[in-house]
Amino acid sequence: MSRDSHAQLQRNVQVSDELKPHFRVTTIMERPYVMLKKNYYELDENSRLEGFCIDLLAELSRDLGFTYTIHLVKDRNYGNDIYGNGTWNGMIGEILRGEAEMAVAPFTVNFRRAEVVDFTKPFLSLGISILFKIPADNQPDVFSSLNPLPLRIWICILVAIVGLTLGMYIVAHLTPYEWNLNFSCCTAHQPHPAAQFSPASSPVELANNYSFWNTLWYVMSTMLKGGCDFGPRAVSTRLLGGTWWMFTLVIVAAYTANLAAVLTVSRPYIPIKNLDDLANQTAISYGTIQGGSTMQFFQESKISSHMKMWNYMKDRNVFVTSNAKGVEKALSENYAFLMESSSLEYEVQQNCNLTQIGGVLGSKGYGIALQKKSEWTDRISRQILLYAKRGIIERKKNKWWKSKGASCAGASSAVTQQRFALNMHNVAGLFIILFAGLVFAFCTVIVELCIRSRQIAKLEQRSFHEEVVEELRFALNIKKVQDHRSRKRVVAEEEKRLRSSTSIDQSIK
C-alpha cells in the first residue's frame, strides 16, 4: 500500500470515528475491575487503565459502535446522597452534573441510585460476604487426641456407655438364662454336680456375672477391643451386646481415621462461621466501605441481627474508604471486612492468608450507570445479556480472577470452620440404632421371662401370673439366695441335666 493510500485510510477512519457517538466515562480504581497498568505514565488517558470493566467497556464500544474517553472519579466515591436532599457525590454526582454520560465500574444497582440514574442489566451477580484473615496455626495442646470428635459427641458416648451399662445390667438380671449356681470350685458354665444332693431345706446360691461393675467393665472392654472373661448367654443380652459391638466398631474406626488427619493436617480455627456469629460477639471488629452499597444495606435493613451490626459499626470507627483499605485492615488487625462476594473472591485468589467466612448474604448485581432516560440503556443491556449467553463475561472473569497473577488459584479458598472432622449429624444414626437395640433387647427379655415362667408354672402347678411376679421380684431384689421353691426348681433342673449326662456316659461304656 502506498503512503498516499495509507493516509487516505487513516482520514476515513478518523471521519468514521467522528460520526460515532462519544461518551465521557467515569470509573473508580478497584481491583480487578479497574487498575493502572505498570507503565501507565507512558500511556494516554484511555490506555493507562486495565481490568475487567475496561475490557467490558472496550468490547461494548467495538460491538455497539461508540467511542469514549475515560477518567477516574475525582472524589473517589461510588455515589451516595450525602445530606439526603438529592446532593450526590462520586460517580452518580458526576453523571447528574453532566460531567460524564456513563459510569463503568463495580457499581452496585440499588433502589436509591436507580431513582436518579438508569442502570443496565447486571453484568455480574453477587452478594455480601465476610473477608477474614486465616489465623496462624495453633500449637497442639495435650488434649489434641480428643479433637477428632467434638465435645457433644464425647458427652453422647459417655451417656451411651452409662445407658448401655444400666440396660445390660437390667436385662441380664431379668432374663433367667444369665443366672447360674454359685459354687466356689465351679465356673458359671459348669454348675457343681453336688447341687442334686443338697437338702431341700438348704439354700442354693445363684450368681449373675453381670453385676454393675462387671457390666461396666464388659462395656468398656468391648469398646476398646480388650476382650472380657465372660460373655452374654441369653438371646436378649447377646442382642444388646451385638448392637453395642456394631456401634463401637464404627465409632472407633471413625475416630482412628480422623485422629490421623487431625494430628498431621493443620486446621486453623476461625471463631466465626457466619454473619450471626459476627453479630453476637465483640472481640472481632467489622465494617464496610464508607458510603457504599454494603453500608446502605445494613443501614436500611429491618432484620434484628443486621440492625445490631449497623449500630455497632456506626458507633465505632470501622468504616474504610475502599476495598484495598479494607483488605489491608483485615490483614493487619483482628478485623472482618464485609464486602461484595465477587471482589472477595478475587482477593482470596490473590492472597493465601485471606479466606471467605460463611455464605453469601443477599442478591444484587453490578450494572453500568447512564443518564436518566438514555436511549443507550436498553442497547447496552441487550449486549450484556448476549455476552452472558455466549460465555464472554465468564471468560473475562476467569482472565482477571484466576489467570492474572492468582497466587492461590490452585488452593482452596475455603478454610475449615470447625476443628472437628465429625459432627453430631454424622453419627446420630449410630445412637438411634443403639437405642433401638436396647428397646429390642428389653422386648426380647420379656419374651424370655414369659416362656421360662410358663415352663416353671407347669412344673410346679402354679399360675403363670404368680410365677412371673415371683421372677420379677427376685430379679428386682437382686438376691443371691432364693426361697425354698426356687431352690427346688434349680436343683431339679440340675438333676435333669446330670441324669442326661449319666445316661449318655453309660451308653458309651
Quote the pLDDT of residue 96: 92
Quote the pLDDT of residue 7: 46
Domains of the chain with CATH codes: 3-123 (3.40.190.10), 152-222+425-508 (no CATH)
Question: What is the mean pLDDT of the segment spanning 435-459?
Answer: 83
Q: Which own/partner contact pairs does 257-262 have at CB distance under 8 Å and 24+ positions apart?
A: 258/148, 258/149, 258/420, 258/421, 258/422, 259/145, 259/148, 261/148, 261/421, 262/144, 262/147, 262/148, 262/421
H helices within 315-357, ranges in order?
323-332, 341-350
Per residue in 83-111, pLDDT (tens digit) is 778 889 889 999 999 999 999 999 888 88
Of 45 and 117, more confident: 117
148 is in an annotated binding site: no
Quote the pLDDT of residue 181: 59
Q: Tell me the whole-structure pTM to 2 decimals.
A: 0.52
What is the CA 10 to chain-centroid distance, rounded? Answer: 62
How far apart CA 215 and CA 212 sit, in angstroms, is 5
The highest-confidence range among 4-18, 131-145, 406-420, by mean pLDDT, is: 131-145
233 is in an annotated binding site: no
> 89-103, 156-170, 262-276: which range is least confident on average?
262-276
Quote the pLDDT of residue 28: 92
Question: What is the mean pLDDT of the segment spanning 23-49?
Answer: 86
Quote the pLDDT of residue 201: 45
Give percent above pLDDT 70 in the chain. 77
Which letter does DSSP use for residue 159 in this model?
H
Task: Report whether the peptide linkage leading into residue 21 is cis, meaning its omega lies within 30 degrees of zero.
Answer: no
Quote the pLDDT of residue 476: 67
Per residue in 296-343, pLDDT (tens digit) is 888 888 888 889 999 999 888 889 988 889 999 999 888 999 988 888
Q: What is the mean pLDDT of the chain?
A: 78
Let me know: does 295 contact 319? Beta carbons within 8 Å. yes
- The per-residue DSSP string of 226-247 comes to ---S----SHHHHHHHHHHHHH
Quote the pLDDT of residue 386: 93
Q: Which candidate, 337, 343, 332, places its Cα nearest to that of 288?
A: 337
108 is in an annotated binding site: yes
222 is in an annotated binding site: no
Which letter does DSSP use for residue 88 in this model?
B
106 is in an annotated binding site: yes
Let me know: does 51 contact 366? Beta carbons within 8 Å. no
How far apart CA 187 and CA 425 sit, in angstroms, is 45
Per residue in 197-247, pLDDT (tens digit) is 444 444 556 677 788 888 888 888 888 877 777 778 888 888 888 888 888
**Position of cell 473472591?**
345
Q: Which candidate, 381, 282, 267, 277, places its Cα nearest to that of 335?
A: 282
Residue 501 confidence (pLDDT) above 70: no
What is the side-by-side order of every strand in the sheet holding 22-27? 67-72, 22-27, 102-103, 369-370, 118-119
Residue 170 CB coordination number (10 Å):
18
Quote the pLDDT of residue 192: 39
> 76-85, 323-332, 365-374: which range is least confident on average?
76-85
- The three cell numbers of residue 436 are 433401638
Beta-carbon contacts of residue 266 (< 8 Å; ≥ 6 apart): 137
Quote the pLDDT of residue 59: 92
355 is in an annotated binding site: no
The highest-confidence range among 14-28, 346-360, 481-495, by mean pLDDT, is: 346-360
